[in-house]
Amino acid sequence: MLCTSIRLREIIYLQLGFFDRPMVAMHKMSLDFYEDSFALIALHCSLEDFTLVYAINKHLKCSFKRRRQNLVFSDTISLPVFEWKDTINDRYWTIIANSAQSEERNNLDNGFFKDEPSFTKQHLIPEYKNVDYFMKLEQEDLDSEEAILKSILAIPKIITAYTVNTNTLKSKNNLIF
């Protein structure tokens, strides 16, 4: 029965012409294939994430809301994401913190602080460790980027804000969420 099944499959392949063609090279797609047009604005401020989003909603007349699910990078790192779909201008906005602290337990038997936890700070974009938050604007044309930046700089609690060149980022894949 097995022999007839294999023979039947060969006949079908011959009828479809699979064996008549030369071997075709296989191509792999890498993660660098992801090309999307977005602008990235770095925000420096000393506000908590919900306070920053409230100030941006108030001054820019936006409607940012927190996602139900955090952006999870590992079992110890999770970042809250605030998003807004601007249907009038056909834009998708996200605000995300650049850093998160993870807690690790020290199980060493020696030392003064053997039972105390240690904290490590992880960054979403390690090239910009001093940035507190990133605002990602996904849109087709990036012409209104300067006007948005001027509006953000007018918010009193934001220390500074500037655009980031996304073509030179090494950790650009961290922004795919």
3-class DSSP state for residue 37?
A: coil
Cβ atoms of residues 132 and 123 within 8 Å? no
| Amino acid 10: pLDDT | 53
| Amino acid 173: pLDDT | 80
Cβ atoms of residues 150 and 163 within 8 Å? no
Look at the chain and count its residues. 177
Cβ atoms of residues 115 and 161 within 8 Å? no
Beta pairing class for 81-86 and 78-79: unpaired
| Amino acid 18: pLDDT | 45
Q: What is the pTM of this model?
A: 0.72
Separation CA 172–CA 151 (nearest Å): 25
> Which residue, among 115, 113, 98, has the nearest Cα to 49 in the 3D structure?
98
From the number of C-beta atoms within 10 Å of its C-beta (0-12, 13-18, 19+), residue 150 rates as exposed
Mean pLDDT by 10 residues, the chain (177 residues): 48 48 51 65 94 94 91 79 90 90 66 72 89 89 82 93 89 80
| Amino acid 2: pLDDT | 43
Report helix, strand and coil shares of the chain as percent, to nearest 5: 30, 30, 40
